[in-house]
Amino acid sequence: MSEADAAEARVERTRDVLRKALADKAHGEIAVVSSFGAESAVLLHLVAEANPATPVIFIDTQMLFAETLAYKEELISHLGLTDVRTVSPDGKAIRDNDTYGRLHLSNPDACCGFRKTHVLSEALAEFDGWVTGRKRFQAATRNNVELFERSTDGKLKLNPLAHWTKEDIDDWFERFDLPQHPLIEHGYLSIGCASCTSPVENGEDARAGRWRGSDKTECGIHFENGKLVRTADAGAGE
């Protein structure tokens, strides 16, 4: 099989997974979780193609780049998404956990915990599963991400772009003239909170700019009991 044929096969597999999950409801009620970051437009374009009324959950940690918030609005309009839900830590949680907005400097795991992990857990309570944009090429911590995973709470996690390559992503942006996150041109290849994200240097992986200078590589929403969840659920795609 040529590389072009292999790429097309990946696309068709992704479309099939999303159609079954989001249009046919084959796995119950499924939400999409999106950061509206550097590569998010590709997954969201495919989601809109399958069902533009799909619930899309966006976590506003209250520490995001202004460019990300503006980009979110641009993509919603461009793609015709009709059910984007912004969730955030409430004021009391911020006052109790991070009064001065400096927790990320001493305990970034705790900061992500109350600003992202807890907020997402509450937002997903009503759903049977969720779709992520994780891809194997993004970092060593993601190099064996499966198409389907099952978490210990029983929720199905779908990673429809798991096997896509960086070339696939770039081609999709060009093919459909998708708008780019405005920070891309400044070297930000993976974009989270402004306080913990820096540009990526040549030769570094896309997530090297996240929590630079520490051994932290993930925010924690894909962890259970401190470990990455990679339990495959091969039957989910049937």
Per-residue pLDDT tens over the stretch 37-71: 999 999 999 999 999 999 999 999 999 999 999 99
Q: How many domains does the chain have?
A: 1
| pTM confidence score | 0.88
Residue 4 backbone dihedrals phi, psi, to 5 degrees: -65, -40
User: Quick check: 164 and 191 in contact, CB under 8 A?
Assistant: no
pLDDT at 228: 40
Domain range for 179: 3-237
Instruction: For the beta carbon of residue 3, count every other beta carbon within 10 angstroms.
Output: 9
112 catalytic per annotation: no
Q: Which of 112, 193, 196, 219 is catalytic?
A: 219
Could you tell me the CATH number of the domain that includes residue 196? 3.40.50.620
- As a whole-number percent, the residues of the chain with pLDDT over 70 amount to 87
By 3-state DSSP, what share of the chain in percent is helix, strand and coil, each rounded to 5?
A: 40, 15, 45
